[in-house]
Amino acid sequence: MKKQKLFYSLLLFAGLLGASSCEKYGYNVPDGYPDYTDRPGGDLDTNLKQIDKSMYAKARVFPGLVDQSEPRVQNAKFTLDLNFTKQTAQNLRINVAPEPQFSTGYYAAPGELVRIVVPEGIEGLTVQIGGHTDNLNGKYPLLRDPLIYNRQRIYAGVNYVRNLYGGTIYIRADRAYENPVEFTITNAVKSPDFVLGVSNDAAWVAEVKASKVPWLELRTKRVVFLIPRDRVIKTFSSNEPFTNPTAVLTKWNEVFEYDYNGWMGLSDDAENEKDRSPQGQWRGVLDIQLSVGYGHSGFPFVGLNDSEWFGAMTSLNSITTSNGMWGSYHEFGHNCQQPSIWSWSTLGETTNNLFNFKVANRIGADYSVMHPAVNSGFPQAIAYAKQTGAAKNFDTDAAMNDPFKRMTPFVQIFEKFGYDAMTHLYTEARHAIRTNPSDITKHNWVYEKLSDFTKTDLSPFFDAWGITYSDAVSVTVSKKYPLLKKAIWEYNPLTKTGGDNDIVYRTSVVSASSPAQEGSLANLVDGDPNTFYHAKYSSPTAAESYPHTIILNAGANIPIKGIYSYARPGGNRVGDGKDFEVYYSRNNVDYELAGTGTMPNNNSRFEYIFPNGPVNAKYFKIIIKNGYGGSGVPYVVFGELNLLKP
């Protein structure tokens, strides 16, 4: 029978395995394939007793050796359910989606050949040895070799695979199979994995103590963690022994069931494929060195192999109390962000952390001790939102240049309107016809979708936070929903107080065709008829004379029933306005006529009610066509010119 060629290239990038780079790994594989022609057996090494020890020294450092006393299995059977629906990140519109990678429960010792028999009719499979897939090329100094895992295509029949560093054995699938697939494996070692719903706590503890395998997996339906066995052993003599994996993994499974997949609106049996849960498991691993940071997202997400990250995965206290729920949730949150639809550029370290609050909300944890920056950031952000007068910009203002502060408006919406607001955002994003190319389009999308969820025009909330949006979207939303009535940007999620005050919409002056020569434009809307605005009277240009145009901002798109005015304070009537027109607009671009009228030549309060009833708008343009005092008077004077609100 024709012999197969043995492939075990260390990683997927040909450039890393070319002649120019291979020597730094300590072995020569110029074409990406090993050459065993000098060994007994010709061009294919099928001698399972032959061990390639060329990387033993490095494998001893990481990920570790497997003692020779550990039994190597012979023709052992394992079965995998490969009937999955492949959910891609593109389909879910998230950064990273779980891949169809299946744990076998076996571990390959460094340099030892493993035989895997695949049943007839099964195609599209790859075997992966090593769960540590972080590429450390470019890091200095290196604590381990940059690439220590390998992937190899396997086919129906007998396959041989080897990894010089050893590692956990996985099967990756390109396609699904309706029926479970049974494999046969030889010369691997059994890993003391814990599988929720299958393993027993006490029996598992005994297996871990007896095993000489350096790494093991904690597996649930939704998530898998790859952790070092030696750290598990050390806990057995600590104050918090990890002897309760059933309780820990039950909680982890719930987190992904309810707070990741579920919160994003995903379920196993959703009618629409876009709304189905990932059929693969989310994965996390610990490593002695990372390509970036103390932890980073990806498949798998990677955390540093220290006590804090280990505890974040294995400590029941860490995953069920406020002060422990950050790192792992944070990195998985990065995987789940939707930057192509709504998570705009300044929210990179913000929207991922919203999952932390979802978990905390479900289990009733205290937000105030989740992270030190939350405790200070939320009150400071709320103070910013309460400020009035000056223009704000959520994305560029220094006062908001902090990811924890930028979480505040999202948590306020969740707390006041329900955490399902996030589910609505995610579901709508998956079904969006197109992605959003810019921050403003993402602002618009969040404003519109959250308004849809709350059945409320949230423009005052977005205005308070300085999250800008387009006038056209504001028009669309204002026509569908009533305006927000409560100042929910004052709500403090840490104390569960505030946000119940009625919103007071104050009129402001947008512009006037003539500058104030005496008084000020602000006096038009200050509520005091004894203060005044006097248009320019010293050499006004034609544009600064009649007709005078004044544009008022109602504060939001709200119902306005008319205008009112006071003429010049005192007895002098020169400069009193006379004939006028009022126009309204939702965007300060497209104006419609609300009505026309004539003001009296006296100092009494004058009210003009729109003839066709109140109009819902934000901007009002008042054109004073002429005035009392004769054609030689170019100016207009008002003690007050304001809007009548119902």
Instruction: State pLDDT tens for residues 74-132.
Output: 999 999 999 987 789 999 999 999 999 999 999 999 999 999 999 999 999 999 999 99
| 436-445 tens-digit pLDDT | 999 999 999 9
Mean pLDDT of 383-392: 87
Cβ neighbours around 317 below 10 Å, total: 11
pLDDT at 252: 95
Residue 407 carries which DSSP code?
H
Give the whole-angstrom CA distance, residue 556 versus residue 586. Answer: 9
> Which residues are within 8 A (CB) of 383 and not within 5 positions of it... i.e. 6 or more apart?
none
Q: Is the pLDDT of residue 23 over 70?
A: no
- This prediction has a pTM of 0.82
Which H or E element spans position 204?
helix 201-210
Q: Is the pLDDT of residue 30 over 90?
A: no
Query: Residue 547, preceding bond cis, omega within 30 degrees?
Result: yes
Give the whole-angstrom CA distance, residue 433 versus residue 598. Answer: 51
**DSSP strands (E only) in 204-342:** 215-219, 223-228, 282-287, 295-296, 301-304
pLDDT at 632: 81
**Residues of the chain above pLDDT 70, percent:** 92
The answer to whether the CB of 132 falls within 8 A of the CB of 285 is: yes
- Residue in this structure with the two tokens 């490969």, named with its chain if needed: 82
Paired with 26 in beta bridges are none
The answer to whether the CB of 126 falls within 8 A of the CB of 153 is: yes
Given pLDDT bands bounded at 50, 70 and 90, which one contains residue 400?
A: very high
Give the whole-angstrom CA distance, residue 47 versus residue 276. Answer: 45
Q: Which residue has the higher pLDDT, 23 or 278?
A: 278
DSSP string across 161-207: E--TT-EEEEEEESS--SS-EEEEEES-EE---EETTT--HHHHHHH
217: its two tokens: 């997996």
Give the whole-angstrom CA distance, residue 622 versus residue 640. Answer: 13
| 229-253 tens-digit pLDDT | 999 999 999 999 999 999 999 999 9
| 188-204 tens-digit pLDDT | 999 999 999 999 999 99
Q: Is the pLDDT of residue 403 over 70?
A: yes
| 280-296 tens-digit pLDDT | 899 999 999 999 999 99
419: its two tokens: 């955490």
